[in-house]
Amino acid sequence: MTNNQEIWRAVSKGSFAIISYVNRQGEPRSTGVVYATNGTHLYTAVAPDSWKADFIAAHDRVAVTIPVRRGGLLSLLLPIPPATISFHGRAIVHPAGWLQQSPVREALRRLLPPERQTSALIIEVVPQDAFLTYGIGVPLTAMRHPALARARLPVA
């Protein structure tokens, strides 16, 4: 059985997620991002003139999916899909320069080239409601059975 701490442990170990949002016309979009965590918040850096910065600032609701690699060497031989952790949340777009005094300064600095550290906008994602997981905390063989592999747990 998966628990909340196990999910946060997997989220904090990861560094890649897919973030989904809507554009100004209400059309869905998604893109991959590298992220860092601080406590129960995720942070990613974006260019100030990016679509992500514009659209997420306009609509502060996002959905996030984090793939979690499973299977070790076995995954090189067999088509084992990653486990996933998904949730929706509130996004806060912090201005350029915010990183210099932020609590995640060191974690994000290693993900950002030095020339982008003062110009990048930082998107903070605060997970809300529930995590939807697939394949977290279950044996690999259980991933073939959706009823066994799925879980829904509160974020808090």
CATH number of the domain encompassing residue 12: 2.30.110.10
Helices (H) and strands (E) in the chain, counts: 5, 8
Beta carbons within 8 Å of 118's beta carbon, 6+ residues apart: 96, 97, 99, 100
pLDDT digits (tens, 9 = 90+) for 87-139: 999 999 999 888 888 877 887 777 788 888 888 899 999 999 999 999 998 88
Domain range holding 58?
4-154
Query: What's the pTM?
Result: 0.89
Using CA of residue 93, residue 39, residue 67, residue 62, what is the dihedral sign?
negative
pLDDT computed for residue 13 by the predictor: 92
pLDDT digits (tens, 9 = 90+) for 34-86: 999 988 999 999 999 998 989 998 889 999 999 998 877 777 777 778 899 99
Count how many domains the chain has: 1
Token pair of 89 as six digits = 């949340």
Residue 24 and residue 36: Cα distance in Å, rounded? 27
Q: In this model, does residue 1 exceed pLDDT 60? A: no
Average pLDDT over residues 2-30: 91
pLDDT computed for residue 154 by the predictor: 92
